[in-house]
Amino acid sequence: MEYDLLIREAEIQDASAVIALLDQIGQESNFTSLDENGIAMSESEMQHFLDKQAQSDNQITLLAFLNDELVGIINITADQRPRVRHIGDVFLGIKKAYWGNGLGSILMEETIEWAKSSGSIRRLQLTVQKRNLAAVHLYEKMGFIIEGLQERGACIEGGEFLDVYLMGQLIDE
Ligand code: ACO
């Protein structure tokens, strides 16, 4: 089957689809802080969030659609205080059925290009569970370096603590 890929910035009309996607990502793996309760946001809260993202020079939400189905998201959030507003925090997630097809890499590439042209972002950073080998590989491939290790950086079902890497990359035009 042929797949038609569209990457675009999220709009407020995407709110309910974004909630459904984040809920699904929470249910399909325990690699993120989203659990079976999902994102736990109302549609109006998500509309407000996406609107703020779209208005902001240092924040963005990009969506990946395959044949009109929302299958992936990358989100950059940033503080607005002048001393730290150049730092973008990354969240990335793809529906499990589509893992391993390059979509995460494409979303990250687009985000790095956006960051370079944003005029405000000079550093991207993220946290990732050490055991999330595909994600760590993707981030290293995209230029992130491991800057530190948080012991007990996450706690999953059953009370198991996990090591979490702090990763970052500097952004220059
Ligand atoms: N060990 C090492 N590398 C691996 C492994 C493994 N066990 N499994 C896959 N890989 C590699 C693949 O070969 C590929 O590398 P390549 O491009 O050099 O061949 C890479 O990992 C995966 O690249 P993509 O296909 O572009 O990524 P994908 O679309 O599958 O998305 C993602 C990756 C986002 C981690 C996806 O698996 C996902 O959504 N997982 C659940 C949510 C999650 O973990 N999100 C990240 C949390 S951390 C954060 O948000 C900052």
CB atoms within 10 A of CB 81: 7
Q: What is the pLDDT along the chain (173 residues), one digit of tens a residue?
A: 788 999 999 999 999 999 999 999 999 999 999 999 999 999 999 999 999 999 999 999 999 999 999 999 999 999 999 999 999 999 999 999 999 999 999 999 999 999 999 999 999 999 999 999 999 999 999 999 999 999 999 999 999 999 999 999 999 98
Is 153 a domain residue? no
Is 149 a domain residue? no
Q: What is the DSSP secondary-structure string of 66-125? A: ETTEEEEEEEEE---STTTTTEEEEEEEE-GGGTTSSHHHHHHHHHHHHHHHHSS--EEE
Is 22 a domain residue? yes
The gap between the terminal CA atoms of the chain, to the nearest Å, is 38
Taking the whole predicted model, whether its pTM rises above 0.95 is answered as yes
Ligand 1 pocket mutation pick from 35, 99, 108, 130 by most atoms within 8 angstroms of CB: 99
Count how many domains the chain has.
1
The response to whether residue 61 sits with its C-beta less than 6 Å from ligand 1 reads no
Is 170 a domain residue? no
User: In the prediction, which pLDDT does 165 show?
Assistant: 98
Is 134 a domain residue? no
Is 158 a domain residue? no
CA distance 172 to 169: 10
Is 27 a domain residue? yes
How far is the centre of ligand 1, averaged over its atoms, from the C-alpha of 1 (Å)? 23
Owning domain of residue 58: 5-122
Residue 92 Cα: closest atom of ligand 1: 50
Is 164 a domain residue? no
User: In the prediction, which pLDDT does 168 show?
Assistant: 98
How far is the centre of ligand 1, averaged over its atoms, from the C-alpha of 142 (Å)? 12
CA distance 169 to 44: 33
Q: Supply the CATH number for residue 61's domain.
A: 3.40.630.30
User: In the prediction, which pLDDT does 173 show?
Assistant: 81
CB atoms within 10 A of CB 159: 6
User: In the prediction, which pLDDT does 11 show?
Assistant: 98
User: In the prediction, which pLDDT does 2 show?
Assistant: 82
Asked whether the beta carbons of 61 and 10 are under 8 A apart, the reply is yes
Ligand 1 pocket mutation pick from 28, 94, 96, 141 by most atoms within 8 angstroms of CB: 94
